[in-house]
Amino acid sequence: MHDPSAHGAPAQDTAGLAGGSQTTQPTSVQEGRRTGPWRRPGPQQFPQPSQGAKSGSFAADLKTLPGRMSVRLRLTLLYGLLFFMAGALLLFVMSVLVANILGNVKVIVPGISLEDAADLQQQFVQQTMKQLVGRSLVALAGVGIITLVLGYFVADRALSPLQRVTATARRLSESTLHERIALEGPDDEIKELADTFDAMLERLGQAFDSQRRFVANASHELRTPLAINRTLLEVALGDPEVSDDLRAVGRTLLATNARHERLIEGLLLLARSERELTARAPADLAEVAATVLEHSARRDHDNDVAVHPELASGTALGDPVLLEHLVSNLVENAVKHNEDGGELWIRTGMLEGWATVQVENTGPVVPAYEVERLFEPFRRLNADRVESAKGAGLGLSIVRSVVLAHRGAVYAAPRPGGGLIVTVRLPPG
């Protein structure tokens, strides 16, 4: 790789990403050091850690009523309907009773006939019942509106255990299957649902742990014969009496053996990165990236790539070793899938409250529909499985697994003119 200082500052490409959006963001200054323009993150390759289920507002639920009624709104309407039915029945019974009582009241006015007295009594009863019913309906409507509002909050309270189940389900991934809802309370339908969900998580966790153990054990078992093969080949190639044909075959086998060793190491790292982190420590991504670049500069690469580091302090909380592997895989992937004389930008720092590392590289054009597949194990650009010189296709899979273990997020987008932009955001330390 070229010396970064020989190329000066990288050009600020202001071309838009797919969809014509602006790719540069305002330059920030952290701890007296300038960070270059962050490229706009592309489509997210895995959901960010959820902040929990958010309750919709009453007005928002009303707007969605024509198309879809939420359970909260349906319970609210049910509470309100039951109250109005009970209130209307009570109002009817009360009106009948009051009318019967007033009908038995005798109006006695001196100097008028009995017929006039009966008419006066009937008018009194009618006027009284009219005012009673009218005021009762107004009171029923007012109390009914209050009941609807109270019913909405009561329904929200009743559904809060389900919101907890939903929030837990949203947070889950292969590396967080150890979480449980552990709902406390009476043995009702909701607690039964939560306990069933916890039992399902237990079975899934055991299945994933068994799969990881199998991959790790198989990888360990394969490392020994590969190491023996490499030793035998190196000893054979060191013999000066070996023929040229046999030496060519030995070199080919040694290169194939080296590729298998890299594949095994990648599988071991992938299995390790998918486990839940048992210990977390603050790690400055700028120091991690500087270490990775120093090691990478010492290795021989097929492509001559100019590296432009733009490192600012950004502390993440996690496993420093896994974070180093994460950055190393991003850099190695950007170098391998680059062109001779290409460029690579690596940026670290704090972005929107997240410890962020971004690697941008030139190279062949990456179709937008191929980006998501690149994060799957053994996937390469254009589904190429023949060109093995560029690795086993585990680099970005390991990156995503490490990000998930740290409960972060990884984004990727094609770079205008060719190449890829990968952005990793991790919880700050």
What pLDDT sits at residue 422?
A: 92
Q: Indicate whether 21 belongs to any domain.
A: yes
Q: Do 421 and 283 belong together in one domain?
A: yes
Mean pLDDT over 337-362 rounds to 91
229: phi > 0 → left, psi -120 to 50 → alpha, else beta; which?
alpha
In the structure, what pLDDT confidence band is assigned to residue 381 with cuts at 50, 70 and 90? low
Q: Note the pLDDT tens digit of each residue in 294-345.
A: 988 887 777 788 999 999 999 998 888 888 888 988 998 888 888 888 999 9
Which of 172, 207, 234 represents a domain boundary (last residue)? 172
Which of 172, 194, 217 represents a domain boundary (last residue)? 172
Q: Do 39 and 75 belong together in one domain?
A: no
Query: Which domain, by its residues, includes 415?
Result: 4-46+279-426
Give me the sign of the Cα torsion angle 301, 304, 305, 307.
positive
Q: Do 311 and 410 belong together in one domain?
A: yes
Q: Do 294 and 382 belong together in one domain?
A: yes
Q: Do 34 and 113 belong together in one domain?
A: no
Mean pLDDT over 52-57 rounds to 47
What's the number of domains the chain is made of? 2
What pLDDT sits at residue 62?
A: 56
Q: Do 106 and 72 belong together in one domain?
A: yes
Q: Which residue has the higher pLDDT, 247 or 113?
A: 247
What pLDDT sits at residue 313?
A: 92
346: part of which helix (H) or strand (E)? Answer: strand 343-351
Q: Do 15 and 75 belong together in one domain?
A: no
Task: State the Cα–Cα distance between residues 412 and 14, nearest whole angstrom.
Answer: 17
Which of 156, 172, 188 represents a domain boundary (last residue)? 172
Q: Indicate whether 234 belongs to any domain.
A: no
Q: Do 297 and 406 belong together in one domain?
A: yes
Q: Indicate whether 408 belongs to any domain.
A: yes
62-82 in b/e form (b: 16+ CB < 10 A) is eeeeeeeebebbebbbebbee
Give me the sign of the Cα torsion angle 361, 365, 369, 374.
negative
What pLDDT sits at residue 340?
A: 85
Integer angstrom CA distances of residue 312 from 91, 279, 286, 347: 73, 25, 6, 7
pLDDT at 18 over 60: no
Neighbours of 127 (CB within 10 A): 10
Task: State the Cα–Cα distance between residues 394 and 377, nearest whole angstrom.
Answer: 5
Q: Do 83 and 142 belong together in one domain?
A: yes
Q: Do 291 and 410 belong together in one domain?
A: yes
Mean pLDDT over 245-257 rounds to 83
Task: State the Cα–Cα distance between residues 346 and 311, nearest whole angstrom.
Answer: 7
Tokens 């053996």 identify what position?
257
What's the CATH number where 341 sits? Answer: 3.30.565.10
What pLDDT sits at residue 382?
A: 54
Q: Do 15 and 121 belong together in one domain?
A: no
Q: Indicate whether 197 belongs to any domain.
A: no
Average pLDDT, the chain: 75
Q: Do 286 and 420 belong together in one domain?
A: yes
Both tokens of 378, joined, read: 């053994």
In the structure, what pLDDT confidence band is assigned to residue 271 with cuts at 50, 70 and 90? low
Dmax over CA atoms of the chain, in Å, equals 149
pLDDT at 208 over 70: yes
What pLDDT sits at residue 344?
A: 92
Mean pLDDT over 188-214 rounds to 81
Percentage of residues in the chain with pLDDT exceeding 90? 11
